[in-house]
Amino acid sequence: MATQLTDLSCRTTFSIKKITEYMLPDSKESFYLLLDGSVPLLVIRPAYEVFLADLTTLSGVHNKKGYCHYSEMTRFPKRIHKSANEIHYGLGFRFDDLAAVELFIQKLISIIRE
């Protein structure tokens, strides 16, 4: 999936532990590739929850139920989750194949440009 994101002109800004931060092409909009477990997740800002229906109707795109929480997603907002301290969170998505990843990135770019 990392190769696919690079092929789509998404640029990497940092990688630490199980997470890599990317920026969409020609944009300062960040998202994360989370490799926690057997299924990689792309995590976007929770503000895009209003576009959840548009994103999950794409072929091969599936939303992870609930939010993804990870302390290294530093460009995302924080909230309380399972402890007294706030942690960064976002919306997680998994994909059936690389074609679905491409559809998702293209849709996200079109949302940002609107």
For the chain, what's the residue count?
A: 114
Helices of type H across the chain: 2-7, 52-56, 98-113
Q: Domain with 92 in it: what CATH number?
A: 3.90.1150.40
Domain extent for 53: 2-113
Report pLDDT for 104: 96
Instruction: Please identify every stretch of the chain with a pLDDT value under 50, giving residue numbers as ranges.
Output: none
Question: What local confidence, expressed as pLDDT, does residue 81 receive?
Answer: 76
Q: What is the pLDDT of residue 39?
A: 85
Instruction: Give the amino acid at 13.
Output: T
pTM over 0.85: yes
Q: What secondary structure letter does DSSP report for 76? A: S
User: What is the Cα–Cα distance from 28 to 6, expressed in whole angstroms?
Assistant: 16
Counting the structural domains of the chain, the total is: 1
Q: Give the 3-state secondary structure of residue 61.
A: strand
